[in-house]
Structure formats: C-alpha cells, structure tokens
Amino acid sequence: MKILITQSDRQVVMYAENIIYEDDIYYAWNDIAPHKVTRANTREALEIVTLPNGVTLPDDEYIIGKYVYTVDDTFEIWPHWDDNPII
C-alpha cells in the first residue's frame, strides 16, 4: 500500500496500491481495478510513501484529510480535523 502525503504536515491526500508521479500529476490505482485512475494535481509539495510491512491504514471511513502519517510510521488524527458535520 502507498500513500501520498503533504510534505509540510504529512497529511494523507491519497492512498492506493500503486501511486506514480508523471508530468506534474500523481496517479493512483489498485491492482483489482487497474483501469480506474485517480489524479491529484496540487501546488503543494507531496511525497509518495510506501507503508512498511505491518503498518495498515486506520480503520476509519475517513482517511484522506483526517489523518497524518508520522515519521514513526503511525497514523494520527490531523490536529485541525473537525468531526462536526457541515450543515
């Protein structure tokens, strides 16, 4: 599993089995659906991280934007995350 994180605060912006960077665009896809590609185009510096063996994504409906990936190979809730629904 790979994740795409912001370099500034390590916030998760994408996750998939495969993530690559080509021509200023990040592409992500899973092996079970290789024809489905998600693109991320941003001005913020991003980093592709391969999760080490034994490290799994949080068991949560919301991962993108909610979690940061620490330098200790753990996930923590982003300090500015607000669980209150937008009405």
Q: How far apart are CA 58 and CA 11, in angstroms?
A: 13
Say how far apart CA 32 and CA 16 lie, in whole Å: 11
Q: Residue 34's pLDDT is what? A: 62
pTM of the model: 0.84
Task: Supply the pLDDT for residue 22.
Answer: 85
Task: Encode the chain (87 residues) as per-residue pLDDT tens digits.
Answer: 999 999 999 999 999 999 998 888 888 888 877 666 677 767 788 999 999 999 999 999 999 999 999 999 999 999 989 887 766
CA distance 86 to 84: 7
| Residue with tokens 């960077």, as numbered in its chain | 21
- In this predicted structure, what is the pLDDT of residue 63? 94
Q: How far is CA 59 from CA 26, 42, 55, 63, 75, in A?
A: 24, 27, 12, 9, 11
